[in-house]
């Protein structure tokens, strides 16, 4: 692994502090030195990248990832996809996330029991390229709620992308099974969703006894729970049971906001705006034509979720990007749109949105103190961006603007040898 010096960079360090000109030395897989201005660090034995004013920032963390989803409008196809093909699709998506500057990612549910575990292990072993990854279980749900998608003509639960349980003992068995397979988190669907006409986003489906059992078995093994929680009661239920990662969090009142704020140093909130925005305003091809029940419900929930996120942001609750990408309306690779959504709907500044994707990313990855900042001693997950993302967050959506992508001190994408923006020097003798 070569030592690398980034010179003439504009550094966004991920902390939220103002950007500054400087240079960064990477030794092995760590950031060894960060200097302001042109301090002319020693270049002997170092590969030098003169960035000519490009922006150096931490790699980003996507907090709600479904690597097994296939960019379709429904999940029917992945229910029937043979495992071998499904594994290849998952690996292809993992590479795409790294190609797009997401050097870390949190699995939010997979489609088959071991897909996430296998792809995480393969990434860690260097067999396939991908982000640092926390592997998720399939969604655990109850009959009739979101995730109970067993196809009518194939009444076997292995053809549902969710694991359907009934009662604490079935929950115990499911959780123990997935933990045995090696997942990092257990996903529970507490609320319904506006995709499900008979189980909309304001409904809550799982019993307290079922949730308590899932959390007990998960924590017993030192792992973490994540939840699909759109309804107010499901949000409260997650907080009562000590769940750490809450997805969606749309409907709240003053008491629920107080509960969330009281646990702000323990929890992470990931609103997943993409589904709401796309189906509220561009959903006609997917059954959400203007004025339809689904479209009206999505628009109403978007307003509720935006109000909740603005309130939580003012209260200092940790809000991260992550958004159910992998559907036809929001494809894998478009995830950086979430930073713009955090500005528009959660009231963040562009700098706060970048910090949410970087510094808070290190925290949700359970690596605070070594991931998510351009700081001495931290892991060298870095992006070199052609331009100023603070002036235009859209740059992070354009792969051509990502001049270099470094993960763990090694380039996934190297600067081009003869690029006009980046000049490359071989290691000095």
CATH architecture for residues 4-59+373-425 = Roll (2.30)
Q: Residue 273 to residues 66, 311, 345, 399: CA-CA distances in angstroms?
A: 15, 16, 8, 22
pLDDT averaged over every residue in the chain:
93
For residue 151, name the pLDDT band (cuts at 50, 70, 90): low
| Dihedral sign, Cα of residue 169, residue 213, residue 325, residue 133 | negative
Percent of the chain with pLDDT over 70: 93
Closest CA to 60 of 364, 311, 413, 410: 364
Give tens-digit pLDDT for 95-134: 999 999 999 999 999 999 999 999 999 999 999 999 999 9
3-state SS class at 161:
coil
pLDDT of residue 158: 53
Place 421 in a pLDDT band, splitting at 50, 70 and 90. very low
Give the Cα separation of 82 and 80 in Å (integer).
Answer: 6
Q: Percent of the chain beyond pLDDT 90?
A: 86
Q: Whose CA is closest to 40, among 52, 54, 22, 55?
A: 22
Helix H or strand E segment including 104: strand 102-107
* Three-class secondary structure of residue 342 per DSSP: helix
Q: Does 2 score more than 80 pLDDT? A: no
- Inter-residue contact 193 to 230 (CB < 8 Å): yes
- The domain locations on the chain are 4-59+373-425, 60-364
Q: What is the pLDDT of residue 41?
A: 72
Confidence (pLDDT) at 341: 98
Q: Is the pLDDT of residue 155 over 80?
A: no
- Number of continuous H segments (helices) and E segments (strands) in the chain: 12, 18
Angle at 393 between CA 369 and CA 411, to 5 degrees: 55
Task: Tokens for 246, please give them.
Answer: 């809450």
pLDDT of residue 265: 97
pLDDT tens, residue by residue, 48-66: 999 999 999 999 999 999 9
How many Å apart are CA 244 and CA 302, to the nearest integer?
Answer: 23
Question: Quick check: helix, strand or coil at residue 175?
Answer: helix
pLDDT given at position 39: 67
Question: Residue range 324-329: average pLDDT?
Answer: 93
CB-based burial, 149-180: b 16+ in 10 Å, e otherwise: bbeeeeeeeeebbbbbbeebebbbebbeebbe
Q: Looking at residue 424, what is its pLDDT?
A: 43
Does pLDDT of 418 surpass 80? no
Token pair in block for residue 345: 């709907």
**Can you tell me the mean pLDDT for 36-53?**
83
Q: Which helix (H) or strand (E) holds 188?
A: strand 185-189
pTM for the full predicted model: 0.94
Give per-residue pLDDT as tens, 206-252.
999 999 999 999 999 999 999 999 999 999 999 999 999 999 999 99
pLDDT score recorded for residue 337: 98
Q: What tokens appear for 359 in the block?
A: 């510094």
Class in CATH terms, 60-364: alpha beta
Q: How far apart are CA 421 and CA 418, in angstroms?
A: 9
């Amino acid at each position: 692994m070569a030592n690398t010096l980034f010179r003439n960079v504009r550094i966004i360090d991920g902390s939220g502090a103002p950007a500054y000109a400087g240079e960064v030395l990477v030794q092995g897989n760590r950031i060894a030195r960060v200097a302001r201005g042109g301090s002319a660090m020693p270049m002997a034995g170092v590969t030098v990248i003169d960035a000519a004013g490009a922006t150096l920032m931490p790699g980003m963390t996507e907090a709600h990832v479904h690597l097994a989803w296939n960019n379709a409008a429904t999940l029917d196809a992945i229910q029937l996809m043979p495992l071998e093909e499904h594994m290849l699709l998952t690996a292809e998506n993992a590479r795409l996330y790294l190609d797009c500057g997401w050097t870390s990612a949190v699995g939010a549910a997979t489609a088959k029991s071991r897909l996430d575990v296998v792809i995480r292990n393969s990434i860690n072993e260097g067999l396939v390229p991908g982000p640092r990854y926390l592997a998720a279980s399939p969604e655990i749900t109850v009959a009739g709620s979101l995730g109970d998608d067993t196809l009518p003509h194939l009444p076997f639960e292995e053809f549902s992308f969710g694991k359907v349980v009934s009662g604490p003992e079935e929950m115990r068995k499911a959780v123990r099974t997935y933990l045995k397979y090696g997942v990092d988190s257990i996903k529970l669907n507490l609320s319904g969703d506006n995709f499900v006409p008979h189980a909309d986003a304001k409904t809550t489906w799982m019993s307290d006894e079922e949730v308590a059992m899932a959390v007990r078995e998960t924590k017993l093994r030192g792992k973490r729970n994540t939840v699909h929680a759109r309804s107010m009661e499901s949000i409260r239920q997650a907080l009562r049971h000590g769940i750490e990662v809450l997805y969606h969090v749309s409907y709240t009142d003053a008491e629920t906001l107080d509960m969330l704020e009281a646990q702000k140093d323990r929890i992470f909130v990931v609103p997943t705006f993409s589904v709401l925005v796309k189906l509220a305003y561009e959903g006609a091809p997917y059954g959400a034509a203007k004025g339809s029940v689904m479209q009206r419900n999505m628009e109403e929930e978007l307003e509720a979720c935006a109000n909740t996120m603005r309130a939580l942001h003012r209260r200092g609750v940790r809000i991260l990007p992550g958004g159910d990408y992998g559907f036809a309306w929001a494809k894998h690779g478009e995830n950086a749109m979430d930073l713009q959504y955090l500005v528009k709907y959660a009231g963040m500044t562009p700098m706060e949105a970048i910090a949410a994707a970087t510094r808070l990313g290190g925290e949700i990855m359970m690596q605070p103190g070594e991931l998510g900042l351009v700081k001495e001693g931290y892991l060298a997950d870095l992006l070199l961006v052609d331009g100023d993302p603070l002036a235009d967050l859209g740059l992070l959506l354009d792969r051509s603007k990502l001049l270099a992508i470094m993960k763990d001190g090694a380039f996934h994408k190297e600067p081009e040898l003869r690029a006009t923006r980046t000049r490359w020097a071989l290691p000095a003798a």
